[in-house]
Amino acid sequence: MHLLVASIGFGLVTASILAIAAVGFTLQFGVTNILNLAYGAIMTASAFLAYAITTSGLGIWAALAICSVASGIGCVLLNRAIYTPYVRRGTGLFGMIIVTISVSLVVEFTLQAIHGSSFVSLSLPATRSYHFGAMVFTGLQLAIIAIAVLAMLCVHVLLRYTKLGKAMRATAADPVLARSCGISTGRVIDLTWLVSGAMCGLAGVVLVINVTSFDTSTGGEFLIPIVAAAILGGVGQPYGAMLGAVIIGVSTEVAAGLFDPTYKDMVSFVILVGFLLLRPQGLFAEIATQKEVVA
Amino acid sequence: MSAAWQFYFATLIVYLGVDILAVWGLNVQFGIAGIGNFAFIVFQATGAYTMAVLTLGPPPVGSFQQYIGGASLPFPLALLAAGLVAGLLSVVIGLIGLRRVRADYQAMVFLVVSLIATSVVNNLTGLVNGPAGLSLIPKPFAGLGFGLVSYDWFYAGMTMGVCAIAYLFVRRLTRSPLGRAMRAARDNEHAAAAVGKNILGLRMTAFVFGGVLAGISGALLVAFIGAWAPGSWLYPETFVFFTAIVVGGAGNDLGVATGALLVPIVFLETTRYLPNFAAPGVVDALQWVMVGLLSLAFLWFRPRGLIPERRQRFKPDPATQRRPAPVLASGPAAGEKVGLDD
């Protein structure tokens, strides 16, 4: 029992990281209709930027802010410079997957060429640990949970109560209709890349705050639970992704705590396969039909 | 030619044969049937592990490697078994991955399957020895008394022989009514379903056919190199085959074979001869960067590849012409009315 509660505690931390990443991933896909498999590589890039910033003497909080902004701007540029031109040239849905994986390889292995394949860890401020019953959190882990809750609230407010959020949902539902209603879909898509890119950068940094060490493939490997959480919630559904993140995060950590850490990825896999067989459209949504990407 | 160069060229020919088999398999799945199988390397790996386990014999007590099963089958039987096991796995994975979803969504599902397969093999060390992999896989026909170099030439010849046999099957499939129906299902699923084609059945057929070829290619490769580990089949390896197909021309058997010559052999081998200008590992990393840039470049400048798929042309069916057709005109048989011109 004690072990179960303790591993639920770890699960909450994992779920928080996963929620930030999965909501960004699914938002990107839902609004822009591009399944960006370079997401993990961008998280890694952001983590290494954080490493560079913290080793240069600035604190981890400065690194979080800088990495989010840099990743957001980077994603806007990535979309403007690479993705949109390919879409305009008539690259199909599967062609775009090849484009995003190419970008992923270029980013990941450029980092590896620069940095090498050694593991590094961030130098983090020492924090005391807090006990809640059997759950133990370090101060940083509490901060991660707080950041995730704050980020989810921001996404909720953005989508429900702002004009931009309304425009995003309209663009996701029907880009042509949205455009003919006077929504500047190009601007909405730029802003979506900015927001989701910032979440991607944020997720990359909080991921490596929570692990002891990381290398250039860390973000790419984290893509499995991200995709699992996104599929679980229905790809393109931010609220589904939040729920998916909690389910995947907690269940993987409980499995790791009760049985064996090596079963972590397998649990995501079993949940994923089960969902693909029983409810491939996810918990929340009808599956996105064969629509083309908005240029 | 010195022995070292002969050895090198024979090895390259074996690799070429293995890559050609693999891209044909992937081309039937992706180029013909339109399935973006990003887990392709898993099926090659399955064939390789099957070959290894079936020729290594039962693991001796206290051996440095542990694996399930273990038999000492003769090479041709093990080769067929490798194709069979990979084909069976294709059925299982196909049931999960071939559901009717968007092309990109499907590719993502397969990508996850590939990542998970690596993690399963790494973690269940009792299965095929985990991250350390299997080694000391016996060389087939080693008892025939070949010299070191002549054995490699023999193996290269055998690989090419398997390729030639596989080509007969591949050609037969891609140019048959079945292949046309697969293309129809790829180009317009609803139209193909409307003329009575079983879409899932066609895709599953293509998927299993490709899986069997992948398994055989993996088995040939592992019997030659003698070792196999999760590091040999990480998900970017599938991407090399996709790059070969994009470069060569998806849907064209000879095009993709050209791609297999150009991308994994010419392009990745020549970079070996670059002067070692940086720290170890940098050139390897840059190779992957170049593979990414290569497929980006081809998708931009020549998206249909070097040798594009031929446009299918069919004679108009006399039965559907306005003008009364001659009574004894021999049109295509009734079952073959595909009529998708583009």
Does a structural domain hold residue A294?
Answer: no
The residue in chain A having the minimum alpha-carbon distance to the alpha carbon of residue B297 is: A99
The C-alpha atoms of residue B246 and residue B248 are separated, in whole angstroms, by 6
The C-alpha atoms of residue A14 and residue A18 are separated, in whole angstroms, by 6
Q: Which residues pair with residue B228 across a beta bridge?
A: B134
Q: A266 with B115: CB under 8 angstroms?
A: no
Interface of B with A in 278-317 (CB under 8 A): 278-279, 281-282, 285-289, 291-293, 295-296, 299-300, 303
For residue A96, the chain B residues in CB contact (below 8 A) are: 104
The C-alpha atoms of residue A253 and residue A264 are separated, in whole angstroms, by 7
pLDDT reported for residue A281: 62
Cβ-count burial B202-219 (b if 16+ within 10 Å, e if not): bbbbbbbbbbbbbbbbbb
The C-alpha atoms of residue A260 and residue B179 are separated, in whole angstroms, by 47
- A200-231 pLDDT, tens per residue? 999 999 999 988 788 888 888 888 888 888 88
Q: Which of A29, A87, A101 to mutate to test the interface with B (most CBs of B within 10 A)?
A: A101
CA distance, residue B81 to nearest chain A CA (Å):
27
Indicate if the pLDDT at residue B23 is higher than 90. yes
CA distance, residue B129 to nearest chain A CA (Å):
15
Q: Alpha-carbon torsion A228, B293, B183, B116, what sign? A: negative
Which residues have CB under 8 Å from A67's CB, separation 6+?
A46, A47, A49, A50, A53, A201, A202, A204, A205
For chain A, give the percent of residues with pLDDT over 90. Answer: 40
- What is the value of pTM for the model shown? 0.85
For residue A97, the chain B residues in CB contact (below 8 A) are: 36, 38, 103-104, 107-108
Q: Name the DSSP letter for residue A235.
A: T
Mean pLDDT estimate for chain B: 84
Interface of A with B in 73-92 (CB under 8 A): 82, 86, 89-92
DSSP letters for B14-75: HHHHHHHHHHHHHIIIIIIT----TTHHHHHHHHHHHHHHHHH-SPPTT-S--BS------H
Does a structural domain hold residue A121?
Answer: no
Higher pLDDT among residues A18 and B277, named by residue: A18
Which CA distances in Å does A113 have to A32, A35, A56, A118, A122? 31, 26, 21, 11, 20
- B162-190 pLDDT, tens per residue? 999 999 999 999 889 999 999 999 888 88
CB contact under 8 A, B285 and A109: yes
DSSP percent split of chain A into helix, strand, coil, nearest 5: 75, 5, 20
CB contact under 8 A, A98 and B295: yes
Does a structural domain hold residue B195?
Answer: yes
The residue in chain B having the minimum alpha-carbon distance to the alpha carbon of residue A289 is: B102
The C-alpha atoms of residue B193 and residue B197 are separated, in whole angstroms, by 5
Does a structural domain hold residue A102?
Answer: yes
What confidence category does residue B45 fall into, taking pLDDT thresholds of 50, 70 and 90?
A: very high
Q: What is the mean pLDDT of residues B56-70?
A: 77
Does a structural domain hold residue A292?
Answer: no
Q: What is the mean pLDDT of residues B226-245?
A: 89
Indicate if the pLDDT at residue A82 is higher than 70. yes
The C-alpha atoms of residue B167 and residue B42 are separated, in whole angstroms, by 22
**Domain range for B117:** 14-231
Q: Which residues pair with residue B134 across a beta bridge?
A: B228
Distance of CA B180 to the CA centre of its chain: 20
What confidence category does residue B80 fall into, taking pLDDT thresholds of 50, 70 and 90?
A: very high
For residue B281, the chain A residues in CB contact (below 8 A) are: 112-113, 116-117
Mean pLDDT estimate for chain A: 86
Our count of domains for chain A comes to: 1
Distance of CA A253 to the CA centre of its chain: 18
If residue A129 lies in a helix (H) or strand (E), which one and from where to where?
strand A129-132
Of A273-282, B69-78, B226-235, give the lowest mean pLDDT range.
Answer: A273-282
Does a structural domain hold residue B68?
Answer: yes
**Residue A135, SS3 per DSSP:** strand
B53: left (phi over 0), alpha (psi -120 to 50) or beta: alpha
CB contact under 8 A, A98 and B246: yes
Interface of A with B in 101-140 (CB under 8 A): 101-106, 108-110, 112-113, 116-117
The C-alpha atoms of residue A243 and residue A247 are separated, in whole angstroms, by 6
**Domain range for A43:** 2-114+130-278
Does a structural domain hold residue A261?
Answer: yes
CB contact under 8 A, A94 and B111: no
Does a structural domain hold residue B322?
Answer: no
What confidence category does residue B134 fall into, taking pLDDT thresholds of 50, 70 and 90?
A: confident
Count Cα neighbours of B263 within 13 Å in the Cβ-side half-sphere: 33
A60: left (phi over 0), alpha (psi -120 to 50) or beta: alpha
The C-alpha atoms of residue B185 and residue B34 are separated, in whole angstroms, by 8
What confidence category does residue B263 fall into, taking pLDDT thresholds of 50, 70 and 90?
A: confident
Which residues have CB under 8 Å from A225's CB, separation 6+?
A14, A18, A248, A249, A252, A265, A268
Interface of B with A in 196-255 (CB under 8 A): 236, 239, 242, 246
pLDDT reported for residue B24: 95
Does a structural domain hold residue B25?
Answer: yes
The residue in chain B having the minimum alpha-carbon distance to the alpha carbon of residue A228 is: B112
Does a structural domain hold residue B36?
Answer: yes
Q: What is the mean pLDDT of residues B271-287?
A: 74
CA distance, residue B116 to nearest chain A CA (Å):
7
CA distance, residue B281 to nearest chain A CA (Å):
7
For residue A265, the chain B residues in CB contact (below 8 A) are: 115-116, 119, 123
CB contact under 8 A, B120 and A266: yes
The residue in chain B having the minimum alpha-carbon distance to the alpha carbon of residue A236 is: B105
pLDDT reported for residue B267: 82
The label of the residue with tokens 């001796």 reads B60
For residue B293, the chain A residues in CB contact (below 8 A) are: 102, 106
Q: Which of A86, A98, A277 to mutate to test the interface with B (most CBs of B within 10 A)?
A: A98
- Count of all residues that appear for chain B in the document: 342
Indicate if the pLDDT at residue B29 is higher than 70. yes
Q: Which of B109, B112, B263 to mutate to test the interface with A (most CBs of A within 10 A)?
A: B112
pLDDT reported for residue B338: 42
Indicate if the pLDDT at residue B39 is higher than 80. yes
**Residue A214, SS3 per DSSP:** strand
Highest averaged pLDDT of the listed ranges B84-88, B261-265, B302-306: B84-88
Higher pLDDT among residues A270 and A69, named by residue: A69
Of A85-94, A243-252, B133-142, give the lowest mean pLDDT range.
Answer: B133-142
The C-alpha atoms of residue A47 and residue A77 are separated, in whole angstroms, by 19
Q: Alpha-carbon torsion A86, A92, A98, A100, what sign? A: positive
CA distance, residue A228 to nearest chain B CA (Å):
8
**How many A-B residue pairs are in contact by the CB < 8 A criterion?**
131
Which CA distances in Å does B18 have to A66, B78, B246? 47, 16, 18
- A91-143 pLDDT, tens per residue? 888 889 899 999 999 999 999 988 888 888 888 877 788 888 778 888 888 99
B129: left (phi over 0), alpha (psi -120 to 50) or beta: left
For residue A92, the chain B residues in CB contact (below 8 A) are: 103
What token pair was written down for B308? Answer: 């594009």
Interface of A with B in 150-189 (CB under 8 A): none
DSSP percent split of chain B into helix, strand, coil, nearest 5: 70, 0, 30
Does a structural domain hold residue A293?
Answer: no
If residue A137 lies in a helix (H) or strand (E), which one and from where to where?
strand A135-138
Rounded to 10°, the helix A139-161/A185-210 angle is 170
Partner-chain residue, chosen from A96, A101, A117, that has the shortest CB–CB distance to B239: A101
- A34-51 pLDDT, tens per residue? 889 899 999 999 999 999
The C-alpha atoms of residue A249 and residue B297 are separated, in whole angstroms, by 38
- Please give the angle made by the CA atoms of A194, A117 and B280, to the nearest 5 degrees: 125
Our count of domains for chain B comes to: 1
Interface of A with B in 226-265 (CB under 8 A): 227-228, 231, 235, 262-263, 265
Of A99-108, B55-64, B232-241, give the lowest mean pLDDT range.
Answer: B55-64
The residue in chain A having the minimum alpha-carbon distance to the alpha carbon of residue B93 is: A273
CA dihedral B158, B163, B169, B171 (to 10 degrees): -150
Does a structural domain hold residue A91?
Answer: yes
**Rg of chain A, C-alpha, whole Å:** 19
CB contact under 8 A, A116 and B289: no
What token pair was written down for B317? Answer: 């069916």
Q: Which residues pair with residue A129 across a beta bridge?
A: A138
The residue in chain B having the minimum alpha-carbon distance to the alpha carbon of residue A226 is: B112
Interface of A with B in 14-73 (CB under 8 A): 35, 37
The C-alpha atoms of residue A107 and residue A223 are separated, in whole angstroms, by 15
CB contact under 8 A, B279 and A105: no
Indicate if the pLDDT at residue B325 is higher than 60. no
Count Cα neighbours of A267 within 13 Å in the Cβ-side half-sphere: 19
pLDDT reported for residue B236: 84
